[in-house]
Structure 1
């Protein structure tokens, strides 16, 4: 695939995870009222989503190696759509929790396949440039996600938030069916449990992998923890409307976008470790 197609598809695939959180957060206080449940139960829906998203990546990566990037993307996106539909038609909060877990599992393929398709086709500065461009485009989704979610919630109610996720999932699935080309030779031996365990153990022993992962995990974890608490504080306690909450989140994501642009400007001049420091 061309660099442009790889970048656009990579941005869409990578965005599905963060966007599914960003659109959802303004609806959390409303879900407490709609189902007559506790804040803790609705916060659990984010925990389940993140858990499914994180753990399933351990399988999504090997699955894309074993069956191909395209086939794995299609299969996991179908799982994502199932989870989204479960949430749309949820008769109780238990269905919301289950739907969010399934959504997280399905969305896990995005970041995995996006990085893999870049690695399959490009190396060095070109690969870094594409990944950073994906990061810049990725920032746009979470930036407008809370605003779109808040507007949709105010006009159409909480179900519309999950309908938006269904629409996004369908668009992404269609894009993969039409435009995503296979970039690797499938090898089912890569899915052997013994191979997977050995690979993950070797990574956990490698400080070159472990230290950057801990830094990234801490930063992303803090961001997601904030995303869990802010809707209840700003909407429930401060009294902002869902739309106002979404607009306020533009400030935070604007800072993220600025950082991504700055990184793209310096990525060709400064080494990776120096940039991180």
Structure 2
């Protein structure tokens, strides 16, 4: 499965990335020249790369800020209450990713509940629209990837022995000190894992910007898809894809080493 579903497609992309498109027949020909990679390093394509990393980092941080309290609440509750909240986190994953994203269009539109609430509390009608903006894209990413942040942190918090918190309290640690110096530190492997699970797919996200960005917010995944679907420049699209694979691989290696160091410390 790894060979046929991963290695062969990536190898094919790597080979095509060294080709060129015949402008008379629009057929891809292999000439094994690095011209596509030089074109991919053009500022026209580098800006979406930097913007994608910034957007993915913002969405990951937002997921962490929202997800950690949810995971902490999950770990402290027991029985039916815990199962209900865990179900509320997991069940959205059963719904199609595109369907959930399209659902946000109605929520974030000018006639949706968000603007309705803001207008009721006194926000003027001239407030800039939220839909089809970078903010809407970040909201969509947080909404889509939040369970991937909550679950690994919840598992890490569940493994913390309650006696450690009792010992910290006996040694004079208050609630905040217990949270920051015991729970956060021991849950660090789960935090790193959650950041990787959210950040890596968010870098190459295509569906959320396409739906909530409305063609106005172009991330790296949209640039790559345009080369394949609209322009028909398969070699350049393959080169852009290979560069993204390399960038994501570096992030994974750094994240894995960070996880290993955190696990050794804890």
TM-score for the superposition, normalised by structure 1? 0.30
Q: Give the greater-gyration-radius structure (CA).
A: 2
Compute the TM-score of the two structures, normalised by the length of structure 2.
Answer: 0.31
